[in-house]
Amino acid sequence: MLVPMMDSIIRNAAVGGTREVVIGMAHRGRLNILAHILGKSYSAILTEFQAANRDEGASPSGKGNIGWAGDVKYHLGAMRAYRDSGVENMPITLAPNPSHLEFVNPVVEGRARAAQEQRDQRGAPLQDEKASLAILIHGDAAFPGQGVVAETFNMSRLKGYRTGGTIHIITNNQVGFTTDPDDSRSTHYASDLARGFEAPIVHVNADDVEACIAVARMALAYREQFGRDFVIDLVGYRRWGHNEGDEPAFTQPMLYQKISKHPTVRQLWATKLESEGTIATGEGDAMVTQLLERLRADREAAVGKPHEDRRPKPAPPGLARRTQTAVSAETLLTINKALLSRPAGFTMNNRLEKVLDRRRTGVEQANGIDWGHAEALAFATILADGVPIRLSGQDSERGTFNHRHAVLHDVTNGTTFTPLQALPHANASFAVYNSSLSEAAILGFEYGYSSHTPNTLVLWEAQFGDFANGAQVIIDQFIVSGRTKWGQLPALVLLLPHGYEGQGPEHSSARLERFLQLAADDNIRVANLTTAAQYFHMLRRQAALLTSDPRPLIIMAPKSLLRNPKAMSSLGDLADGQFQRVIDDPDAAQRVGDVSRLVLCSGKVYIDLISLPEYAESQETAVVRVEELYSFPDRELQAVLARYPNVREVVWMQEEPQNMGAWTYVAPLLREILPQGMPLTYIGRSASATTAEGSLVEHHVEQNRILRAALSVVAEPAMGD
């Protein structure tokens, strides 16, 4: 019954003015949805079962020349242009998803929201909630069992995430895996979770064809009238085992005695139609025979056919390195003035007024532009270039560390003003939202939004980088692998505050090592920056590459560096040059012949190091920053090494433990480019089961040890050296 219910919903939505439908579901029934709702041919589906076939031009491993791996047919997405009922070319998308069941839910919501917004003009994006419809198909065990379902429901009426109501269908077969309902939920109905969100719930017998269609129509009518979620609990059964091949009678013997004797819904409906005279006696069975013959023919035709080639086209080599991101000083000064303007009579907090006033004079000082200021200028110039921006996360309007202030609040009446939405130079929309206290659903939503709008700069900001742990499924299964598995091309930016400052194990590390471990096939970009100008240029580069070379960008965002004078930049730094993947030691230019030790590092620990008095006194040491870790800047590092003819030792310094951070990633890559016999030494924290010390005192002791070792002591070689 799922297929005719879906057909009814989509057909009536199209007639009612919906311009796009986005669907999310797990595996069960997916092939039928692909065939009968998305219009994927039987032949194309059956071809994917021919394991001997490979994509044309692929290697024996099944991977193409840009790391194409593909995915099992139960995970693949599809898109079709709907043309029934006189509706021309309405897109219907089934979002691809992994075996993590309900994690596709927020991805679909993000796609649906993206399809509802108009982003080509100044201000907040204009939203038409009836422009698209999200349909989510759930399992009866997964709906109450997967926490991301509740997180997604919680977003449904939030201003930054609402989509005008989602239709949920629980395909309730009354058994999850081999587990009875009494062992899989604490509620009477599988759908009871939705009661907490005041969503209407209708339970319908999947054997009652007319009732099912009536409920489908009711769901759409309710959504169109009230703009709220609607839940259909489609109560049926699973005729075969969990994977259509195992034996369900092993674990539910009594239930399957009944099911084996129970006629299918097709048989029940055919009998009813025959008894009414709507179809001739035996016509229903004749239809089945005819269809089976077609399937057999399509299966035979599928043998020997190549798989569908879904590989994305590779970008021109070195495109990112050639991207120009500078903006003239005159333009930046004009935009800066506009950013600091506000409506007449708008009264801000006195302390905040002083903070923003510093941005008036900061552009005129040698190093007066801090991180938040550089970000505002980057956003403003990106909007002027006609690229829309969407930023969300916990505290993102103000900034967790009180550094952004994208949304201003009038202290006399509580009204708000967003300067980037009033910017006269803008040629695209700007949106910023404080999110719910969620990582998995919110990041999934932004991934979906980014996937659906390739020309929009979409950013998600974690309150602390460590909190991305709560969204690891979205990171692992969607963001870093979606390109290789599904041909998805998102360019989502993750801002993950990272840096060891004595705040304990849960507020220090954004788990840089995990992203570097997941980096392959040019799937992502990973950066750990040290100056406001570098952040400015990186954001502009990401925006410039949205359509020509889109990749997710992972930034180890700063905390203490947000206002650190040594991380600030000048107007000239923004107006000249471009993003630098590697930055040589600016103080070593006059003493290259004296340098015998080259210290390589990344991110905030560099600022800590050059802040030591011993740094200025060290003539034999040069400190080089690796600003972009992936893709690995081997050519840039080789060029730096060539400038120091008398180097006898190369050190990798980091503040993370040895089994974390970048060390295990960079060590083998550095050995490939270092001269033969050149020692490579590790300086940092020892390997640890936790990311950081829990005591501020212990942190300072360990941090000082690392910094002084990098400058004055030849450390013991790392294990294996």
> Which residues, 6 or more positions from 199, have their beta carbon under 8 angstroms from its beta carbon?
153, 168, 228, 229, 230, 231
Instruction: Give the pLDDT confidence of 9-65 residue by residue, as tens digits.
Output: 999 999 999 999 999 998 888 889 999 999 888 888 888 877 544 444 444 444 444
* CA distance linking residue 713 with residue 707, whole number of Å: 10
Query: Are 82 and 92 contacting, i.e. CB atoms less than 8 angstroms apart?
Result: yes
Record the tokens describing residue 554, joined without a space. 């992972």
* HSE of 508, CA atoms in CB hemisphere, 13 A: 22
Name the segment(s) of the chain with CATH classification 3.40.50.11610: 583-712
What pLDDT is stored for residue 590 in this prediction? Answer: 84
Identify the residue whose tokens are 């050149």: 678
Residue 175 has pLDDT above 50, yes or no: yes
Cα 631–chain centre separation: 18
Give percent above pLDDT 70 in the chain: 95
Q: At what angle do helices 147-155 and 104-116 cross, to 10 degrees?
A: 20
What's the token pair of residue 507?
A: 């507020």
SS3 call for 230: strand
| Residue range 119-151, pLDDT digits in tens | 999 999 999 999 999 999 999 999 999 999 999
In CATH, which of 1.10.150.120, 3.40.50.12470, 3.30.499.10, 3.40.50.300 is domain 319-575?
3.40.50.12470
pLDDT at 348: 92
In the chain, where does the domain assigned CATH 3.40.50.12470 lie? 319-575
SS3 138: strand
**Maximal C-alpha separation, the chain:** 99
What's the pLDDT score for residue 288?
A: 95
> pLDDT (tens digit, 9 = 90+) per residue, 486-531?
888 899 999 999 999 999 999 999 999 999 999 998 999 999 999 9
Segment 612-623 mean pLDDT: 89
Q: What is the pLDDT of residue 413?
A: 95
| Cα(382)–Cα(569) distance, integer angstroms | 19
Q: What is the CATH number of domain 2-38+77-262?
A: 3.40.50.970
DSSP state of 489: -
| β-pair partners for 392 | 433, 460
Look over the chain and give the mean of its residue pLDDT values, rounded to a whole number. 91
Tell me the whole-structure pTM to 2 decimals: 0.93
Q: Hey, what are 240's tokens?
A: 């075969």
As a CATH number, domain 583-712 is: 3.40.50.11610
Residue 119 is given by DSSP the state -
**Could you tell me which of 129, 124, 148, 128 has the C-alpha nearest to residue 138?**
148
Percent of the chain having pLDDT more than 90? 79
pLDDT of residue 301: 85
**Bridge partners of 132?**
20
Residue 162 has pLDDT above 90, yes or no: yes
- State yes or no: pLDDT of 82 exceeds 80: no
CA distance 615 to 623: 9
| Mean pLDDT along residues 607-618 | 90
Q: Extract long-range pairs of 451-454: CB within 8 Å, 24+ residues apart.
A: 451/107, 451/110, 451/111, 451/482, 451/488, 451/489, 451/490, 452/22, 452/110, 452/111, 452/114, 452/115, 453/114, 453/119, 453/388, 454/489, 454/491, 454/546, 454/547, 454/550
Of residues 677 and 310, more confidence is placed in 677
Cα–Cα dist 168/404, whole Å: 37
